[in-house]
Structure 1
Amino acid sequence: MPDAEAQTAIDESIERLREEALDLLAPYPSVLLAVSGGPDSVALMLLCARWSLRSSRDIAVATVDHRLRKASREEAEEVGRWARDLGYAHHLLTWEEAKPSTRLQERARQARYALLAACARRIGASAIVLAHHADDQAETILFRLTRGSGIAGLAGMARVARAEDIALLRPLLDFRKEELEAICARAQQAFFRDPSNEDDSFARARLRKLAPVLAAQGFGQEALLRLGARAARADAALTHCAAETLQRAWRKDEASCVELDAATLCEAPPEILQRALASAILRLAPAAVLRLERLERATARIGDALAARKSVKTTLADVSIEASDGRVRLRPAPPRRSS
């Protein structure tokens, strides 16, 4: 527990942030809180219980049991009791599929989001509220930095994102983990700690243990958050410029074909061209997953061809991209032949 002076500072910070943070939820009349049982998500549940707009909002809680630990079911059921004590309806969701032997955390995360989105649709919630906080944000930025992420990745997690028709809201990104634990302590509310957070077989756990070394070299949490904020500003500016370029380049926009003016695209810097092409691809294939390395290679090929006024054809994310006759045409790629 922090000392009295530190506790007072934490309490003042919490009061300053609480209503301002939950304003993010205000446009959504029905939301689903993702509550794992850790101090972060339990604090989210407690904050929403005291929210000034709670009485006019339909707020439910969901807990995902990944079935990765023996105690997980019992813990999820206990979270349900805590939620009901606070007046929330609770939904216990289970990852039933066989567990993968590789990329376990990544696939568990994908399964968790899919289960939460399905639950939100089932109960009529238009947003899922997640408890990611400032420590998570700094860790995410560091993790992506070690993976060679681009500007968008270094911006970290967005406060508002989308999973198809469902909004993903992160109102706690300005809270420190110690502040969220203090909320639980003040409410005398128990919580669970996930032992996987200390498991060195996971990359994030290893990075977490490097935090003191990085901080001693001036690359602590505050520096990472500054990097993320600066990357977010740069990403927003680049996105704006790419949208303007794409608007000027549009020649045809149909379900089966997007056609762009080659001369307009040729004038764009590589990063703007790359983002414009990505947007055009997603116009034809909204569910496409664009890997940065592949997108960079495809953009370089197209950019080189445009500069040399040569024809080129490539395929990315099942979208055929062809540059010729002063146009760049994107169409759904034909089905691959089965062997």
Structure 2
Amino acid sequence: MVDRDYTVDHLDAWLLNAGVGPDDKVAVAVSGGADSLALAFLAAACRPTLAITVDHCLRPDSGAEAETVTSMLADQNIAHQIVRWSGAKPTGNIQAVARRERYRLLTDVCREQGISFLLTGHHMDDQAETLILRLARGSGLYGLAGMPAVTPDYAGTGIALLRPFLRTRKEQLIAFLQRHDLDWIEDPSNENKAFDRVKVRQFLKEPPLEGLDILRLSETADRLRRSRQAITFYVNQWLDTYARMEPQHYVSIPSEALNSAPDEIVLRGIIAILHAVADAEYAPRFEKLERLYAAMRDIDFAGVTLAGCKIEPLGDGFLFAREPSAISPATPLGDGVWDNRFVVSAQTNSVADLVIMPLADDLWGQARAQWPDLKDIMVPTVVRRGLPVVCRLAENGDAEVVELPTLGKCSTGTPIVTLSCLSNAIPKK
């Protein structure tokens, strides 16, 4: 536990330990609350800093509040940028969707500004609340381990997400602001009892059992995180031994993999495979995962769909492929990433009428008529339906197959695109 009040020296030492050099620029997510403003003021005192406020545009006065944050930071000569969540808003699960959009916008700004470190003001109170919420939702060890202090590559963005205050109480941050006569904004949603987190916050003010308090819960999350690290070590060993990412971006494992390690290791390995294949942000609920695991061990297993993946028998093993209905539709051909799986580079400027799309059954029939030797290429049907194909669109909307980059077929003589997998391996945790 740090001193009752928090100082610049505390943050400077923490950042150095996390690999942030004295001259490294950092971004700080600032809502205007006490925790995020304290972090912005402290960070700016020891690192080049850009404060970023996301205006979710969910409340009529959110824009004015964001401008108020600009004024508060300007008084301390701290650079500030406001980004707004535009477009239609969800009618349900608002907090979860807003959180996802918030981090997307924050990391987008970091990349645009060439900043490698994003700091958030999550503190010990937040960690304890998260543990209770996840316990109520039936989370396993991974969820109960809470928020990590350092996420080196957040969601594959290349940005390190840092939470320096996870061993700091919110009251310590408020004490810092008060000592320096600094003000903050109280978010009215923090008192809205319609939100589960607010209910948990009220619960922790007067816990029914001795020891069920913020400090003890935070310590429990720390211990669970150590256990999670140990399990992750063995999950990664299992993946290295049994899981293979094939060139067509599907994963295969042998049947023996299911009996090669304790159930928890295998289940976590399957989660990693699902993430890698389907590009899912969240893992499926554990009840669904356990049903999949049981089904795969059944001799009559014929295949299932889960979390954007199709899991099917493959010889003496299994394959995990992108679910065809979850694949990106026809997209104009150009440099970029298709379906978040393949890096596309066009080799010609004459691509105005060309698209890249999934190799559906009708296109496969057209391709086999054009290249008869495709009948000798052994690609599982569910995998083939998700392969990218370059087509020319006619005025009536019909598609003419021009090139199959992953299968080495091209009707023009010279390849139109260069294609490579975005990832050739299953990302390790």
On whether the aligned pair clears a TM of 0.5, the verdict is yes
Read off the aligned partner of 2:295 and give its amino acid letter: R
1:128 aligns with 118
1:175 aligns with 168
1:46 aligns with 41
Sort the Cα spacing of 1:270 and 1:76 in 2 relative to 1 into closer, same or farther, 3 A. Answer: same
How far apart are the structure 1 equivalents of 2:19 and 2:84?
Answer: 26
DSSP 3-state at the match of 1:320: strand
Q: 1:164 aligns with which of 133, 142, 156?
A: 156
Read off the aligned partner of 1:297 and give its amino acid letter: R
CA contact (8 A) 1:35 1:41 kept: yes
Read off the aligned partner of 1:203 and give its amino acid letter: D
Whichever structure has more helix as a proportion of its residues is 1
Q: Does 1:88 align with 2:68?
A: no
Deviations 1:64-115 (A, max 9, x none): 2223334322221121122233333211122233443322222222222222
Q: Does 1:69 align with 2:78?
A: no
Q: Which moved more, 1:160-169 or 1:238-247?
A: 160-169
2:105 aligns with 115
1:203 aligns with 196
Q: 1:235 aligns with which of 214, 228, 235?
A: 228
Sort the Cα spacing of 1:255 and 1:184 in 2 relative to 1 into closer, same or farther, 3 A. Answer: farther
What number of residue pairs does the alignment pair up?
320
Percentage identity across aligned positions?
35
Sort the Cα spacing of 1:279 and 1:103 in 2 relative to 1 into closer, same or farther, 3 A. Answer: closer
Relative to the length of structure 2, the TM-score reads: 0.68
Q: Does 1:37 align with 2:32?
A: yes
- Greater Rg, structure 1 or structure 2? 2
CA contact (8 A) 1:288 1:317 kept: no
2:20 aligns with 26
Read off the aligned partner of 2:42 and give its amino acid letter: L
CA contact (8 A) 2:250 2:319 kept: yes
Q: CA deviation at 1:316?
A: 2.0
Q: For residues 181-220 of structure 1, what are the structure 2 equivalents within 5 Å?
A: 181-214=174-207, 216-220=209-213
1:105 aligns with 95
Q: CA deviation at 1:14?
A: 4.3
DSSP 3-state at the match of 1:254: coil
Unpaired runs of 5+ in structure 1? 1-7
Read off the aligned partner of 1:210 and give its amino acid letter: F
DSSP 3-state at the match of 2:186: coil
DSSP 3-state at the match of 2:146: coil
Read off the aligned partner of 1:26 and give its amino acid letter: V
1:3 aligns with none
**C-alpha RMSD over aligned residues:** 2.5
Q: CA deviation at 1:288?
A: 5.3
Q: Does 1:295 align with 2:285?
A: no
Q: Which moved more, 1:152-161 or 1:163-172?
A: 163-172
Quick one: higher RCO (CA 8 Å, sep 6+), 1 or 2? 1
Q: Which moved more, 1:88-97 or 1:167-176?
A: 88-97
Read off the aligned partner of 1:49 and give its amino acid letter: A
2:349 aligns with none
Read off the aligned partner of 1:254 and give its amino acid letter: P
Q: Which moved more, 1:267-276 or 1:86-95?
A: 86-95
How far apart are the structure 2 equivalents of 1:197 and 1:241?
Answer: 40
Q: CA deviation at 1:154?
A: 0.4
Sort the Cα spacing of 1:318 and 1:109 in 2 relative to 1 into closer, same or farther, 3 A. Answer: closer
Q: Which moved more, 1:80-89 or 1:125-134?
A: 80-89
